[in-house]
Structure 1
Amino acid sequence: MAITLESMRADIAEMIHEDPDGIGIEDNLMDLGIDSMRLLNLILKWQEDGLDLDFAELADRFTLAGWWEAIETKQAGAGSRA
């Protein structure tokens, strides 16, 4: 199952008990409450959804835009191998 920007936003919002519409594309997710443990939990969820991610791919870019760029690149690469 492909992860979309909106499904990512919804997963992050659920993790921090916020409305998805309140999470801007360039908001610092650490400022919103995403710490390393929550990031690990999100990565595990997205791995269950079929995306092969690791912590280092997202740890240095704590915005939704940065994470989406990494995930979009990863999904494009996975699609070309299928």
Structure 2
Amino acid sequence: MSEPLTLDRVRADVAELLYLEPSDVDDSADLLGEGLDSVRILSLVERWRLTGVEITFIELAERPTVLAWWQLLSGRLSDG
């Protein structure tokens, strides 16, 4: 069973793909500019879908910041 999706988890998942510590991720930074590429975004889509949240590559690519992603993802979390 996968760990619940939280802002901290989103930040940690992004940090892992950028080879950073979660505390080094700027939540409002353009992640494409920070080195996140389309393959890594696709891996996040699949990872987060496993938690039960439906999200698309296009949605993430259009607004590539941790805060924008969390806003999208948190609005789709189910309560149970």
Instruction: Normalising by structure 1, report the TM-score.
Output: 0.84
Residue 60 of structure 1: which of 43, 59, 62 is its match?
62
Counterpart of 2:14 in structure 1 is 12
Give CA deviations for 1:10-65 in whole Å, capped at 9, x if unaligned.
01111111111111111111122111111000111111122111112211101111
Aligned residue pairs, count:
78
The structure whose residues are more often helix, as a share, is: 1
Structure 1 segments unaligned to the other structure (5+ residues): none
Root-mean-square deviation over aligned CA pairs = 1.4
- The alignment status of 1:40 with 2:42, answered yes or no, reads yes
Structure 2 segments unaligned to the other structure (5+ residues): none
What is the rounded CA distance, in whole Å, between the counterparts of 1:19 and 1:55 in structure 2? 24
Q: Which runs of 4+ in 1 moved over 4 A?
A: none
